[in-house]
Amino acid sequence: MTATLPPEQSALDREILDELFEIVPDEWDAFLLSVEPRKLDGDGQIVTIVNPDIAGAEIPATEAIRVCIAKLAAFFAREKRSWERLTYAAFADEAGTWRVKITAPLPPPTAPAG
């Protein structure tokens, strides 16, 4: 059984990453976007964008990123997928190629066709 990422989730992940690459400072060779749902007031999310390799290096989330995250949270709610934290982590390898890891709730696995 495998979990296949729904196209809507893939598209929102791509939008978030595209925006991140627009705002991350050129001198950064790594970043970590962390998103946590608000527990008390139920409104919005707690969003942080840091360079994990540089103490205190943080940039604010843009409105575009917040809108994409809100759409993703709404998608998870419609799909009844709970989540405690989303992360988008990336680093540039020695060749300058960005390597990305996204940690988010997956849909339930489906049996392979056949």
User: pLDDT digits over 11-67, tens only?
Assistant: 999 999 999 999 999 999 999 999 998 765 556 789 999 999 999 999 999 999 999
Q: Is residue 31 part of a domain?
A: yes
Percentage of residues of the chain with pLDDT beyond 70: 88
Report the pLDDT averaged over residues 90-109. 90
Task: Look at residue 65 and tell me if it is in a domain.
Answer: yes
Domain-located, residue 113: no
Residues near 90 by beta carbon (within 8 Å), at least 6 away in sequence: 17, 20, 30, 31, 32, 98, 99, 100, 101
In a domain, 27, yes or no: yes
Average pLDDT (92-111) is: 86
The CATH number that applies at residue 18 is 3.30.500.20
Mean pLDDT, residues 67-83: 90
- Number of domains, the chain: 1
Q: Helix or strand or coil: residue 73?
A: helix
The reply to whether 78 falls in a domain is yes
Q: Is residue 111 part of a domain?
A: no
- CA separation for the pair 39, 43 (Å, rounded): 8
- Which is nearest to 32 in space by CA: 48, 13, 16? 48
Range of the domain at 26: 7-103
What is the predicted pLDDT for the residue at 38? 74
From 107, 114, 112, 77, select the one nearest 6 (Cα to Cα). Answer: 107
Q: pTM of the entire structure?
A: 0.86
